Structure 1
Amino acid sequence: MVGEVLKQKYKIERLLGRGASGEVYLCRNIELGNLWAIKHINKNNTKYELLTEINILKKLNHISLPKIVDVIEDETGFFIVESYIEGTPLNKMLEAYGALSEERVISLAKQLCEVLSYLHNLKPFPIIYRDLKPHNIIITRDNRPVIIDFGISREYKGINKKDTVIAGTPHYAAPEQLTSEGTSDVRSDIYSLGITLHQLLTGVLPKYDDTTLLQYNSNISKNMDYIVRKCIKKDLKDRYQNIDALLYDLKNVNKVKILDARLRRTNRILITAMLITSMISFSTIYFGVSALNRENAALLMLSPQILSLSVNQTGVFKVIKRYPDGTREELKASEIEWNSPVTDVAKININEIQPLKEGKTDFDGTYNGKPLKLTVLVNKPQDEIKNVSINLKYLKNTKVAPFAGTGHRSDIIDGDIQSATICNPTSISHNKINNTTYFTDFTKLRTIKDGVIKTLDPNLDNFKDIDLVKTTSSGNIYFSTVPYINEKEQYVSEIYVFKNDEPFLIYQSIGSAYNISDFAFDSSENIYVLQPNNIGLKSKTNFTFVDRLSGQNFSRELQGSADSITIDQEDNIFILSTSNNTILKLDKSDGIFRIFAGKEKEQDYIDNEQCSFYSPKKIVAAGNYIYIIDGNIVRRLVLDNGKLADAETVAGLVGKGAKRLAISPGYSAQFAVPNDLTFDNDGNILLSDLENNVIWKIDLSKEDK
């Protein structure tokens, strides 16, 4: 076999290894000189299994997964030509070095979770890998894990589809994979990942799922011990229910106190609390201009209208008197008479609010005969967040309700917004010219108009998948594509304008295997594009300007990860740096991006001019605001002549998020995985939610728009 040339294109250079289904060889493309791996599968293997692996590999497009480029058949069998991953198998590293440090394992685990999240969210059917183990993980020279060998992977098409064969490696495979009645799903991969993490941390395989890892390695943190043990529970319902929940805990393992159920019951009083305040608005009375009438006509404005605090935070409120002539004056907090400033739940000390314990209480006060009512709610968040400061100023009259989708994940079905299914609403944008909302769902372009959801046919080549969609103030519709491999074996990403039901190519990027992170438009409809060219400790992002008229583009490289871009009404450009949790603004005088909002490297929920973000992932400018999806809540920056004046929270309950559909006030809304937002013709927010499989509508009061 070595030395042979296949298809007059690939020369086999050496044997890389042997497996149960065949051999893997290193080959070289004769014309281009690049290296590929060829997997030779004997014809005596089940053709169904072979076709399954080929079909799965064709769909993969991730830097930490192999990419299939060719399939060859001859009398001996099939040859699958795929990416050659140069590195060291993880099991060889274990043999050479023994157990790894917790810091190293956490880094690998987070990257593996991101790969599995990609697989588990593929469209139209998620892929269950089913054979995760150190042998199938290659560590590259830049310490990036790559998962190989998809021989027993399967597409997940619902809980009623039984696995056709018993598959998996003993000791690593989940219990449900090793029985003829079992059905593997995303939790099966979580189990195998947990077993792998156990081995990386301790050097041995677990004996029982309830045995602490500390008996093998006393240096392992209790949080990490809890995470691994939860992954490898025998019962599926006791494990993490999706890979993103596991990734969340891994990202916060050193900041979040992770407790088992028994400890949570006995330590409820220690978890982060939410403090809610509310006010009663007053009618403005326009009488004369005498001093007395002027005071009586003053409108009292409580700021913030709703305040959420962690137990270790002290909240501050203020009351502003706004007079009929437009002038304002701050009211001294000591002038407010509270009927009872102290309850068992919280207390007011002049202008400070201090939570005491979980519960709800009302404070009634008066000023100049005008009543004030402050409702304080101290409640347990959805997740155990410790050492994260929370000081959020919620808008008062925000209402949240499901807008479109049933909340059930299934095949894409069009129809009215109550009965049509939405599976994976990734990107969303509203066109105010034709009053139509466009969104992407499982690489499909869909619309919502007049209460009906419809899937469009953009007339693209079959191998091109839609990723992001944007609309402009002029009514044009643009979308980007997922990177594909062209005939020269290069990765290609594109942006199209969609006119008269036809796509027209506007921009093309060659070389990056990563999706375009985001793109935005200035007032002249020039395009600004963000696309990663390296992810990891040394992340880099390409920032590209595309001249809409000439089609010329100019790029420069930004250090770090920039995942979102937005442009305000004055053509100021802002990007979101997920590397350091800040929002940067382009200084037009020297072309340098400088920190505009957020504190570098800090993870907190703080609303004020010195605001902090916890886990921001999307920014959208609208009017005098920049809206931010931060973790699972929606926040916004208040702009004054292009400068940061304040920060406040629109909607969402701080925590892990929940798969729950309900109509609720903004401060108690539970979003699972919010991903993108846009604004309808009335100025209300439409928010896509990946995990809840819906689009939410956030109604803002007139004064908050």
Structure 2
Amino acid sequence: MVDIGEILKGKYKIEKLLGQGATGKVYLCRNIELGNLWAVKYIYKKHTKIKLLAEIDILKKLNHVSLPKIIDVIEDDSGFYMVESYIEGTPLDKLLKDAESFDEETVIEWAKQLCDALSYLHSMKPFPIIYRDMKPQNIIITTDNKAVIVDFGIAREYKGQNTKDTIIAGTPYYAAPEQLTAEGATDNRTDIYSLGVTLHHLLTGALPKFEETSLLEYDKNISPQMDYIILKCIKKNLSERYQSIDELKKDLNNIKLLKINSFELRIRNRLIISASILMSIISLSMVYLGISAISKEKSAVLDISPEVLALSQKQERPIKVKKKYTDGSTAPVRSNEIKWKSSNQDVAVVKNDRVYATGEGTADLEGFYEDKRLKMTVLVNKAADEVKHVDINLKYLRNYQVSSFAGNGNHTDINGDIPDGDLKNAIISDPCSISFIPNGDLLVTDQRKLRLINKNTVKTIDLETNAEIARISSNGTIYFSFEPYENENQEMIYGICSYKNGITDFIYKNSGTLKVIEDFAFDSHDNIYLLEHEFISTDEEVTSLVYLNTKTKEHKILKELPGFIDSITLDVYDNLFISSKENYSIYKLDKTSQNFMLFAGNEKEQQFVDGINCRFFAPKRIKAVGNNLYILDKNVLRRISLDSNGDISDVESIAGQPGKVPQNNNTGISQHNTYPGYYALFKDPSDFAIDKQGNIFVTDKKGYVIWKISSM
């Protein structure tokens, strides 16, 4: 196995882990001579050497825009390394999880691209290649919306009708019937079946129940022609399917002209009509019995996601609408079933289940479904950075509101002082860090002083030294990084102090001319992990991850990371996360390899994008709370929701607008003003803290205020 930074075969530098499974791992590597990126697929030797060699043999023959290409194979004692094309994009199964389903136009475009790739495989000489594993998980959608097929682990060469498969292979639900029997033999029609199931899943959000079920029962907006095409693909009998992928693509290209005259289809439609009549009779019976489905529908509540959307011009995002019933069940509603009305069509419109930003401004989108109404607010802004054309695609949680908690927008009083006192009159001058004491009080570093804020007053704590960043351990001890000072040996000293019961203790000291503690956090034992940044030259910076035992005061450097790392946090399981503004990304420490792996964002894309395929602009503070990671991304507070496996399930925005806020804009600083989170303007937010009730407090250095974000 390889480590991050290791160089394979003298020319492929391993940069990061992209993913891993039971049989191996996939790394991102860079050709150190040419500088281009490749994927390295590492397979343990104990996992089916014959299967791996077959995959290598197939990939070496490929040369198509929608297929990966292998360029090198390396073997060592532990396994094989296949160097192949790095496909930058998002697995289609993740996109499907986010969108739930896609409009017909999008699916047809991807289907045509996949048909091109399969046609190429089926036309290979001397033997066609049967892919045998078509499913959303094995399709990557690139940043320019191209569909690329990956993972040829069970592909085989087709050597005639009398040649049976040597093994049973395929993914349940997507695999054709002939793949799952010992006597079966796969051919090009096997791939047509799996492609049909995949298209069914993309259009309806569900797998086929059985081949006679019309897609129109899932969504009446799907065209009868597309319904016919997919149902023909997934026939159990091979002779009833499309006989070639080119025949299928021809129908996709001419779908609007496709005439459906088959006797079988007419019979099926009659069955559907008969079933509808029967269901109507059953519904009437249910009404008679007092458990009316109509009553259930009328009592249903519509739920739309997102409720508030911020986009830059020409951006778009899918809409999810669900019916929530009183019994707790839900049912999807396609946007095409809703009549949409925009308050300003020059700003935003809805088309094919998606919101499209057409121009700068604000628009309310109002939807009408039967006797129900729903509303979405769309904010369309200029790109956050017009030079870099940074895109904005944020989905806000509507139920958050923002108000001023402390500070009145003034840097000092009329005498140039920063007085304590009651919350209404106390000055908040330069709030840097913020944390909660177990009793519920807030601790803020302001003008390098520690200031304690309770429900009514602000009080400055007298210290022996100036404080920069303060954090509170679970037992209530205050820890803070102190302002560097010069000792008698003309060395610059920096470090961390503890403060408890009026006593300051220097628990960690170090020296360095251009070194500073950027952030620190506690593990479950109240020991400290700190980020120690060193400026070496104009071209070189390094951040050391230091472990500090708060009881023994012993410390050690765990890792040295290139560049500037801004923030650090640990969750309840002591998983360690860091964020980097310069890399636009969030990383997680892999406990096995002890290397930081990319967790969220993209090191090449500086954007404001929510959803599973998230992007960040400048993540400067990160904090783990429960099953969420909260990120202060430039001027926007965002939230990553994690599933039971610790993977990203969604990313949403809570408060703050992207982009610069005019520094003379003091509108709304009054404590009496309250704003929806998506309208709030933070000038220079520096840190945040979350109380036990879920309220979030944000320090705003240039707004001279502490904001409170609460759930309505």
TM-score using structure 1 length: 0.55
* Partner SS for 2:410: coil
| Corresponding residue of 1:419 | 425
Code of the residue aligned with 2:450 in structure 1: it is L
The yes-or-no answer on 1:657 pairing with 2:668 is no
Distance change >3 Å, CA 512–CA 610, structure 1 → 2? farther
Code of the residue aligned with 1:315 in structure 2: it is R
| Corresponding residue of 1:572 | 575
| Corresponding residue of 1:435 | 440
Would the aligned equivalents of 2:342 and 2:364 in 1 still touch at CA under 8 Å? no
Q: How does 1:75-114 map to 2 (within 5 A)?
A: none
Q: CA deviation at 1:368?
A: 4.4
Aligned with 2:689 (options 661, 678, 681): 678
Would the aligned equivalents of 1:401 and 1:698 in 2 still touch at CA under 8 Å? yes
Rounded to whole Å, the distance in 1 between the matches of 2:498 and 2:370 is: 59
Would the aligned equivalents of 1:561 and 1:577 in 2 still touch at CA under 8 Å? yes
Would the aligned equivalents of 1:312 and 1:389 in 2 still touch at CA under 8 Å? no
* Partner SS for 1:483: strand
Distance change >3 Å, CA 340–CA 675, structure 1 → 2? closer
Distance change >3 Å, CA 289–CA 427, structure 1 → 2? farther
Q: Kindly provide the CA deviation profile for residues 630-657 of structure 1, in whole angstroms up to 9, marking residues without a partner as x.
A: 1222112111132111111111122212
Rounded to whole Å, the distance in 2 between the matches of 1:364 and 1:377 is: 14
Distance change >3 Å, CA 587–CA 313, structure 1 → 2? same
Code of the residue aligned with 2:653 in structure 1: it is T
* Partner SS for 2:515: coil
| Corresponding residue of 1:547 | 549
Rounded to whole Å, the distance in 1 between the matches of 2:677 and 2:624 is: 20
Rounded to whole Å, the distance in 2 between the matches of 1:341 and 1:419 is: 42
Rounded to whole Å, the distance in 1 between the matches of 2:292 and 2:532 is: 62
Rounded to whole Å, the distance in 2 between the matches of 1:526 and 1:289 is: 59
Q: CA deviation at 1:569?
A: 2.1
Q: How does 1:26-425 map to 2 (within 5 A)?
A: 292=294, 294-324=296-326, 326-338=328-340, 343-378=345-380, 387-410=389-412, 411-425=417-431
Distance change >3 Å, CA 455–CA 354, structure 1 → 2? same
| Corresponding residue of 1:599 | 602
Rounded to whole Å, the distance in 2 between the matches of 1:313 and 1:442 is: 41
Aligned with 1:632 (options 621, 630, 635): 635
Distance change >3 Å, CA 570–CA 296, structure 1 → 2? farther
* Partner SS for 1:482: strand
Q: CA deviation at 1:435?
A: 1.5
Distance change >3 Å, CA 529–CA 347, structure 1 → 2? same
Q: Kindly provide the CA deviation profile for residues 404-457 of structure 1, in whole angstroms up to 9, marking residues without a partner as x.
A: 1121112211111121111111111111x2211001111111011122111111
Aligned with 2:458 (options 453, 458, 472): 453
Aligned with 2:584 (options 568, 573, 581): 581
Rounded to whole Å, the distance in 1 between the matches of 2:330 and 2:367 is: 21
| Corresponding residue of 1:648 | 652
Q: How does 1:528-543 map to 2 (within 5 A)?
A: 528-534=529-535, 536-543=538-545
Q: CA deviation at 1:528?
A: 0.2
Work out which of the two has the higher radius of gyration on C-alpha atoms and give 1 or 2.
2
Code of the residue aligned with 1:523 in structure 2: it is S
Q: Kindly provide the CA deviation profile for residues 575-627 of structure 1, in whole angstroms up to 9, marking residues without a partner as x.
A: 01233111000111111100000100321111111211112211122222212
Rounded to whole Å, the distance in 1 between the matches of 2:624 and 2:647 is: 13
Would the aligned equivalents of 1:406 and 1:418 in 2 still touch at CA under 8 Å? yes
| Corresponding residue of 1:181 | none
Q: CA deviation at 1:518?
A: 0.2
Query: How many equivalent pairs are there?
Result: 410
Question: Comparing 592-601 with 395-404, which one deviates more in the overlay?
Answer: 395-404
Distance change >3 Å, CA 661–CA 516, structure 1 → 2? farther
Code of the residue aligned with 1:527 in structure 2: it is I
Code of the residue aligned with 2:697 in structure 1: it is L
Q: CA deviation at 1:508?
A: 2.2
The yes-or-no answer on 1:487 pairing with 2:488 is yes
Rounded to whole Å, the distance in 2 between the matches of 1:629 and 1:694 is: 16
Code of the residue aligned with 1:345 in structure 2: it is V
Question: Comparing 337-346 with 518-527, which one deviates more in the overlay?
Answer: 337-346
- Return 5+ residue gaps in structure 1 as ranges: 1-286
Q: CA deviation at 1:331?
A: 2.2
Code of the residue aligned with 2:503 in structure 1: it is E
Distance change >3 Å, CA 476–CA 655, structure 1 → 2? same
| Corresponding residue of 2:118 | none
Q: Kindly provide the CA deviation profile for residues 14-69 of structure 1, in whole angstroms up to 9, marking residues without a partner as x.
A: xxxxxxxxxxxxxxxxxxxxxxxxxxxxxxxxxxxxxxxxxxxxxxxxxxxxxxxx
RMSD: 2.5
Would the aligned equivalents of 1:422 and 1:693 in 2 still touch at CA under 8 Å? yes
Rounded to whole Å, the distance in 1 between the matches of 2:294 and 2:472 is: 52
Q: How does 1:481-520 map to 2 (within 5 A)?
A: 481-511=482-512, 513-520=514-521
Rounded to whole Å, the distance in 2 between the matches of 1:643 and 1:448 is: 36
Q: CA deviation at 1:293?
A: 5.2
Would the aligned equivalents of 1:341 and 1:347 in 2 still touch at CA under 8 Å? no
Rounded to whole Å, the distance in 2 between the matches of 1:347 and 1:634 is: 26
Would the aligned equivalents of 1:299 and 1:321 in 2 still touch at CA under 8 Å? yes
Rounded to whole Å, the distance in 1 between the matches of 2:691 and 2:493 is: 33
| Corresponding residue of 1:688 | 699
Q: CA deviation at 1:490?
A: 2.4
Q: CA deviation at 1:348?
A: 1.0
Q: CA deviation at 1:517?
A: 0.2
TM-score using structure 2 length: 0.54
Q: CA deviation at 1:306?
A: 0.8
Report sequence identity in percent: 42
Q: CA deviation at 1:340?
A: 6.5
Rounded to whole Å, the distance in 1 between the matches of 2:626 and 2:638 is: 15
Code of the residue aligned with 2:707 in structure 1: it is W
Would the aligned equivalents of 1:341 and 1:348 in 2 still touch at CA under 8 Å? no
Rounded to whole Å, the distance in 1 between the matches of 2:457 and 2:290 is: 53
Code of the residue aligned with 1:457 in structure 2: it is D
Code of the residue aligned with 1:671 in structure 2: it is F
Would the aligned equivalents of 1:383 and 1:656 in 2 still touch at CA under 8 Å? no
Q: CA deviation at 1:681?
A: 4.1
| Corresponding residue of 1:258 | none
Would the aligned equivalents of 1:288 and 1:294 in 2 still touch at CA under 8 Å? no
Q: CA deviation at 1:307?
A: 0.6
* Partner SS for 1:516: strand
Aligned with 2:711 (options 697, 700, 704): 700
- Return 5+ residue gaps in structure 2 as ranges: 1-288
Distance change >3 Å, CA 690–CA 361, structure 1 → 2? closer
| Corresponding residue of 2:213 | none
Rounded to whole Å, the distance in 2 between the matches of 1:318 and 1:341 is: 20
Rounded to whole Å, the distance in 1 between the matches of 2:652 and 2:513 is: 37
Would the aligned equivalents of 2:312 and 2:382 in 1 still touch at CA under 8 Å? no
Q: CA deviation at 1:388?
A: 1.1
Would the aligned equivalents of 2:313 and 2:383 in 1 still touch at CA under 8 Å? no
* Partner SS for 1:517: strand
Would the aligned equivalents of 2:342 and 2:348 in 1 still touch at CA under 8 Å? no
